[in-house]
């Protein structure tokens, strides 16, 4: 009798293990262990450009493409980005991507990443580092050239409307002070303006790359200087704020005051088509696929170019309507 029970018990275990083995033939559920883990220390959400940049990363670094993205929004604060990078190191991610708020102050935390053997890729803004080996590659826009292009556009435009011999009172809305986007654009603009004796730079002040602050600073410029001819806004959103401030004092943006901005987001095209913005110097935010390409090359043991500029164009009221339908951001 005992032997019969034992036989039945063995039979039960064999049968149930066969059922289990049959189940195991199904594809194993994804554990995530073979995904490449990428930590992205993003600046914040201060502008349309930034939103497009975040979206580019979120749509590229997805499981279907073999990635797990850990995203951190630093709310425009360097200390938050440093904390985020330390968290990424603790989580032992495969790659760290940083869009640095400002250029300086990164050596210590990047050395920590290097000691942990985690490659760092810079996106968008650059860092000023004493040791260039602290990052593998950078991808972004040429901010100095953008600044330079903006003044070249103004020179050409004034000539085309027969105003190149008029004196021009100019104000400059700057981005976040110390960010490479601000440093490069300001340098390009200031050096470009200095070449023309008709140009007078009345004032420059940061609008922190936000629409609200851009509007606030423009309001104070308009109070201090009632005869402004040209505004350079170091991004589109500050230009949108400036447009509102100009309208509020009864002037016509794009006519009474020439406005030149940077980024060339879709709303900038709407404003150029409406005649309120004169020109937008492109800064391309779609870095997700470019960073993914760098990672794929590194994964295969390849080498990548250290500095990778993206191609950027200049748009104005003459070409805005034709180019608008194909704009990706
Ligand atoms: O670093 C790129 C700049 O940052 C963009 O011009 C601006 O819109 C953003 O906030």
Domains of the chain, CATH where assigned: 33-140+285-310 (3.40.50.2300), 143-283 (3.40.50.2300)
Q: How far is the CA of 124 from the centre of ligand 1 (A)?
A: 8
pLDDT band at 14 (very low <50, low <70, confident <90, very high): very low
| Predicted local confidence at residue 13, as pLDDT | 40
| Predicted local confidence at residue 156, as pLDDT | 98
Residues 6 or more apart from 90 whose CB is under 8 A from it? none
| Predicted local confidence at residue 254, as pLDDT | 98
pLDDT at 9 over 90: no
Q: How far is the CA of 166 from the centre of ligand 1 (A)?
A: 32
| Predicted local confidence at residue 50, as pLDDT | 98
pLDDT at 53 over 50: yes
Nearest residue (by CA) to ligand 1, atom 3, is: 181
Q: How far is the CA of 225 from the centre of ligand 1 (A)?
A: 27
Interatomic CA distance for residues 221 and 198, integer angstroms: 20
| Predicted local confidence at residue 193, as pLDDT | 98
Q: How far is the CA of 110 from the centre of ligand 1 (A)?
A: 23
Q: How far is the CA of 49 from the centre of ligand 1 (A)?
A: 6
In whole angstroms, how large is the CA radius of gyration of the chain? 27
Concatenated DSSP letters of 50-62: HHHHHHHHHHHS-
| Predicted local confidence at residue 114, as pLDDT | 98
pLDDT at 27 over 70: no
| Predicted local confidence at residue 120, as pLDDT | 98
pLDDT band at 12 (very low <50, low <70, confident <90, very high): very low
| Predicted local confidence at residue 277, as pLDDT | 99
Interatomic CA distance for residues 269 and 263, integer angstroms: 10
Q: What is the mean pLDDT of residues 263-278?
A: 98
| Predicted local confidence at residue 21, as pLDDT | 34
pLDDT at 46 over 90: yes
The residues lining ligand 1, judged by C-beta closer than 6 Å to any ligand atom, are 46-47, 49-50, 124-125, 181, 209, 235, 262-263, 283
| Predicted local confidence at residue 39, as pLDDT | 98
* Mutate-to-test residue for ligand 1 from 124, 141, 240, 309, highest number of ligand atoms within 8 A of CB: 124
pLDDT tens readout for residues 196-241: 999 999 999 999 999 999 999 999 999 999 999 999 999 999 999 9
| Predicted local confidence at residue 6, as pLDDT | 44
| Predicted local confidence at residue 28, as pLDDT | 34
Nearest-atom number in ligand 1 for the CA of 44 is: 10
Interatomic CA distance for residues 322 and 329, integer angstroms: 15
Cβ atoms of residues 38 and 71 within 8 Å = no
What percentage of the chain has pLDDT greater than the value 70?
Answer: 90
Structure tokens belonging to residue 201:
């730079």
Q: How far is the CA of 33 from the centre of ligand 1 (A)?
A: 34
pLDDT tens readout for residues 161-207: 999 999 999 999 999 999 999 999 999 999 999 999 999 999 999 99
Place of tokens 């985690």: 118
Selection from 102, 145, 146 nearest residue 236 by Cα: 146
Nearest residue (by CA) to ligand 1, atom 6, is: 235
pLDDT band at 98 (very low <50, low <70, confident <90, very high): very high
Per-residue buried b or exposed e for 148-165, using 16+ beta carbons within 10 Å of the residue's own CB: bbbbebbbebbeeeeeee
Nearest-atom number in ligand 1 for the CA of 48 is: 8
Q: How far is the CA of 181 from the centre of ligand 1 (A)?
A: 7
| Predicted local confidence at residue 8, as pLDDT | 43
* Mutate-to-test residue for ligand 1 from 235, 260, 281, highest number of ligand atoms within 8 A of CB: 235
| Predicted local confidence at residue 161, as pLDDT | 98
Q: How far is the CA of 263 from the centre of ligand 1 (A)?
A: 7
| Predicted local confidence at residue 30, as pLDDT | 43
State the chain's mean pLDDT as an integer.
92
pLDDT at 244 over 50: yes
What percentage of the chain has pLDDT greater than the value 90?
Answer: 90
pLDDT at 32 over 80: no
Structure tokens belonging to residue 133:
């080996």
| Predicted local confidence at residue 26, as pLDDT | 35
More confident residue, 19 or 139: 139
Nearest-atom number in ligand 1 for the CA of 209 is: 10
């Amino acid at each position: 009798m005992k032997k019969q029970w034992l036989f039945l018990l063995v039979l039960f275990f064999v049968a149930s293990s066969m059922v289990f083995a049959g189940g195991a033939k199904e594809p194993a559920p994804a554990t995530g262990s073979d995904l490449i883990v990428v930590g992205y220390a993003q600046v914040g959400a201060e502008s349309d450009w930034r939103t497009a940049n975040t979206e580019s990363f979120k749509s590229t670094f997805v499981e279907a493409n073999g990635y797990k993205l850990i995203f951190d929004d630093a709310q425009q604060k360097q200390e938050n980005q440093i904390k985020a990078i330390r968290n990424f190191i603790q989580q032992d991610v495969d790659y760290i991507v940083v869009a640095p708020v400002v250029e300086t102050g990164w050596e210590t935390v990047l050395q920590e990443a290097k000691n942990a053997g985690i490659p760092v890729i810079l996106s968008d803004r650059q860092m000023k580092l004493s040791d260039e080996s602290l990052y593998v590659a950078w991808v972004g826009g040429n901010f100095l050239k953008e600044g330079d292009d903006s003044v070249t556009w103004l020179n050409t435009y004034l000539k085309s409307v027969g105003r190149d011999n008029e004196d021009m009172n100019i104000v400059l809305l700057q981005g976040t002070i110390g960010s490479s986007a601000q440093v490069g654009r300001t340098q390009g603009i200031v050096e470009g303006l200095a070449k023309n004796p008709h140009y007078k730079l009345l004032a420059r002040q940061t609008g922190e790359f936000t629409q609200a602050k851009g509007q606030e600073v423009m309001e104070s410029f308009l109070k201090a200087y009632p005869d402004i001819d040209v505004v350079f806004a170091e991004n589109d959103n500050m230009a949108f704020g400036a447009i509102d401030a100009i309208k509020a004092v009864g002037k016509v943006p794009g006519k009474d005051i020439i406005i030149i901005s940077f980024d060339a987001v879709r709303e900038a095209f709407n404003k150029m088509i409406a005649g309120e913005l004169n020109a937008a110097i492109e800064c391309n935010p779609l870095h997700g696929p470019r960073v993914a390409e760098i990672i794929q090359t590194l994964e295969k043991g390849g080498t990548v170019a250290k500095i990778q500029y993206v191609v950027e164009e200049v748009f104005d009221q003459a070409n805005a309507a034709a180019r608008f339908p194909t704009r990706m951001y």
